[in-house]
Amino acid sequence: MRRIYFDHQATTDLHPEVKEILISSLSLFGNPQTIYYEGRKAKEALERARKEVAELINASPEEVFFTSSGAESNNWAIKGIALANQGKGNHIIASPIEHISILTPLKRLQNLGFSVTFLPVDQYGRVDPDEVKKAIRKETILITIQHASNEIGTIQNLEEIGRFAQEAGIALHADAVASCGHYPIDVQKLNVSSLALSAHTFYGPKGVGSLFIKKGTKIFPLIEGGWQEEGRRAGTENLLGIIGMGKACAVAKREMGNWIERIKPLRDRLIREIPAQIERSYLTGHPTERLFHHTSFCFEFIEGEALLLYLDEEGIASASGSACTSRTLKSSHVLQAIGIDPVLAQGSIIFSLGRENTEDDITYLLTKLAPIVERLRQMSPLYDRYLKEKKIKGG
Amino acid sequence: MYSEKVIEHFKNPRNVGEIPDADGIGEVGNPVCGDMMTFYIKVKDGVLVDVKFKTFGCGAAIAVSSIVSEMAKGKTIEEALKITRDMVAKELGGLPPNKLHCSNLGADALHKAIEDYLKKQEKKI
């Protein structure tokens, strides 16, 4: 059966060039920490990858550290910066729509005596830089704001937030897992002290990520007891993963412009045509200040997991922020924070496009989506009620 | 993950709809939690001659509603009242542990529809 993949925020396939370099590196077994030939060869590959990651985000290679995932990078930044700056203060500023790999470490820090201010966000999920400024205290040691949301696609104004943070001498961490490889990132322009990346969301392998740490940032290691990564992240390097990540970054740097040029019009078509086809559908997140490959909607009267499964039956992979889709059975904290009614939030669906999606894929989705929504609505007692009320009002 | 039978019932739910002149109606659940079911029954000589439902909810909720409607149709009121959540889950070849409580509301909705019918009968007498 034809499969169409619209869940590039969950993960992506490997880019052919990444596949190729992984296969050709399979016999590279040396330990990069050893000084003989095998080790030197491994070290060379490791450092090449570091340079490729650095180039994608305009950092210097000494500022790039490899980890096991975006979640590890976020954990490291939050816990590492907070603990290293305890002498200065214990106050952290965060957005309420961060990924759980930020929110959970923050909760742990709160239990350890740190205090966290969660900023308000507007209906699109944007943090007002002035609110950041207002929340800064003399004990503030860390501000953490995502670059973009994986759930609603909204891009934050990090440049300005970063400027305030810099002026106040406070570290700014940005979770860029949703945006890296799909949206241009320049750590110099964004004024961040640290930035988390993950390879598998932009055609790299799973199980490898990296953390950019700006020179001079005070941060403790998370995993200690080894000389790897300048002694800041212990553990024998995931060499193959790292090589794959480097290649994914090099490819993204070269191709991103083309990808955006091709994918954005496809995405825009979804944003235009879905609400035109389906009544009572609502775009979530910012209409323009959003990831170019991302679109997310809530459909009234239906539940997202059921919609996702019916789409799957038609060969379409998508995501949802509904309560039933999440393991915790709680509806998305992001949709809640931007003020979406909890019942409407149940009808959440997310389509994230990738480099291989075509105009045809979009047409296929658009022919399948509306009938599925209609089928679920015909089953829904909430839709029943709506139609009856509409009839009464209309006379 | 869902069992084959859950997927099958979810894909082709039986007895979806409303009975306009239903003898009993039962509604359970809360859309805020993601699941809400309405059951309609038609009773003749103490037997559920027709059972229909409308459900707002996930794949499990739709499959549960569908199988409950099948299990109840043609049963006497006494038999239908004996259908339990466990029996429903078993009939579906199991449900994911986190869906056992929230989505497995079909039997409750059916029982509520029967209660509604019995109450109406009392009034008639």
pLDDT digits (tens, 9 = 90+) for B53-90: 999 999 999 999 999 999 999 999 999 999 999 999 99
Per domain, the residue ranges of chain B are: 4-120
Structure tokens, A31 = 């330990």
SS3 A68: coil
Q: Which residues of B touch A305 (CB under 8 A)?
A: 58-59
Picking from A1, A298, A305 by the largest number of B CB atoms within 10 A of its own CB, the best residue to mutate is A305
**B55, closest residue in chain A (CA to CA):** A380
**H or E segment and range at residue B106:** helix B106-124
> Minimal Cα–Cα distance from A8 to chain B, Å?
21
> Minimal Cα–Cα distance from A106 to chain B, Å?
26
Structure tokens, A312 = 């799957």
Question: CA-based Rg of chain A, rounded to a whole angstrom?
Answer: 22
Q: Which residues of A touch B3 (CB under 8 A)?
A: none
Q: Would you give the DSSP letter of residue B56?
A: E
Picking from A377, A378, A380 by the largest number of B CB atoms within 10 A of its own CB, the best residue to mutate is A380
Q: Is the pLDDT of residue A329 over 70?
A: no
Q: For chain B, what's the residue count?
A: 125
Instruction: Tell me whether residue B58 is one of the annotated catalytic residues.
Output: no
Q: Is the pLDDT of residue A35 over 60?
A: yes
Q: For chain A, what's the residue count?
A: 395
Q: What is the pLDDT of residue A394?
A: 74
Q: Which residues of A touch B99 (CB under 8 A)?
A: 324
Nearest by CB: A380 against B11, B56, B58: B56
**What is the identity of the amino acid at A45?**
A
Backbone angles phi and psi of B47, in degrees to 5: -115, 140
Q: Is the pLDDT of residue B109 over 70?
A: yes
pTM: 0.95
Question: In sequence order, which ranges of A278-394 are alpha helices (DSSP H)?
Answer: 304-313, 333-337, 342-345, 359-379, 381-393
Task: Count chain A–chain B contacts defined by CB atoms under 8 A.
Answer: 71
**What is the identity of the amino acid at A210?**
S
Computed over every residue of chain A, the mean pLDDT equals 96
The domains of chain A, with CATH numbers, are 4-9+256-393 (3.90.1150.10), 16-252 (3.40.640.10)
Average pLDDT over residues B37-48: 97
Nearest by CB: A301 against B56, B59, B99: B56
Average pLDDT over residues A144-159: 97
Q: What is the pLDDT of residue A63?
A: 98
**8 Å CB contact of A323 and B13:** no
Q: What is the pLDDT of residue A330?
A: 75
Q: What is the pLDDT of residue A110?
A: 98
Give the percent of chain B with pLDDT over 90. 82
Average pLDDT over residues A127-154: 97
Q: With both helix axes pointing from N to C terminus, report the angle between A304-313 and B4-11 in degrees, rounded to the nearest 10.
A: 90
**Tokens 């941060």, residue?**
A219
**8 Å CB contact of A309 and B10:** yes
pLDDT digits (tens, 9 = 90+) for A55-95: 999 999 999 999 999 999 999 999 999 999 999 999 999 99
**8 Å CB contact of B36 and A324:** no
Q: Is the pLDDT of residue A395 over 60?
A: no
**H or E segment and range at residue A249:** helix A239-277
Nearest by CB: A380 against B54, B58, B60: B54
Structure tokens, B60 = 């499990």
Q: How far, in Å, CA of A120 to CA of B111, rounded? A: 45
pLDDT range class, residue B123, cuts 50, 70, 90: confident
Q: Is the pLDDT of residue B125 over 90?
A: no
**8 Å CB contact of B13 and A378:** no
Q: Percentages helix, strand, coil for chain A, rounded to the nearest 5?
A: 45, 15, 40
pLDDT digits (tens, 9 = 90+) for A88-122: 999 999 999 999 999 999 999 999 999 999 999 99
Q: How far, in Å, CA of A63 to CA of B90, rounded? A: 56
SS3 A246: helix
Dihedral of CA atoms A381, A385, A386, A388 in degrees, nearest 10, equals 130
Q: Which residues of B touch A329 (CB under 8 A)?
A: 33-34, 98, 102
Q: What is the pLDDT of residue A327?
A: 65
CA distances from A119 to A96, A127, B36 (A): 7, 7, 34
Q: How far, in Å, CA of A355 to CA of A162, rounded? A: 31
CATH of domain B4-120: 3.90.1010.10
pLDDT range class, residue B101, cuts 50, 70, 90: confident
Nearest by CB: A343 against B7, B31, B60: B31
Dihedral of CA atoms A36, A38, A40, A43 in degrees, nearest 10, equals -140
> Minimal Cα–Cα distance from A302 to chain B, Å?
6
- Report the DSSP pairing between strands A171-175 and A194-198: parallel
Instruction: Tell me whether residue B102 is one of the annotated catalytic residues.
Output: yes
**8 Å CB contact of A331 and B62:** no
Degrees (nearest 5) of the Cα angle A200, A250, A54? 90
pLDDT digits (tens, 9 = 90+) for A221-262: 999 999 999 999 999 999 999 999 999 999 999 999 999 999
Residues in B whose CB is inside 8 Å of some CB of A read 7, 10-11, 13, 16, 18, 27, 31-38, 54-62, 98-99, 102-103
Q: Would you give the DSSP letter of residue A295?
A: E
Structure tokens, A166 = 């810099």
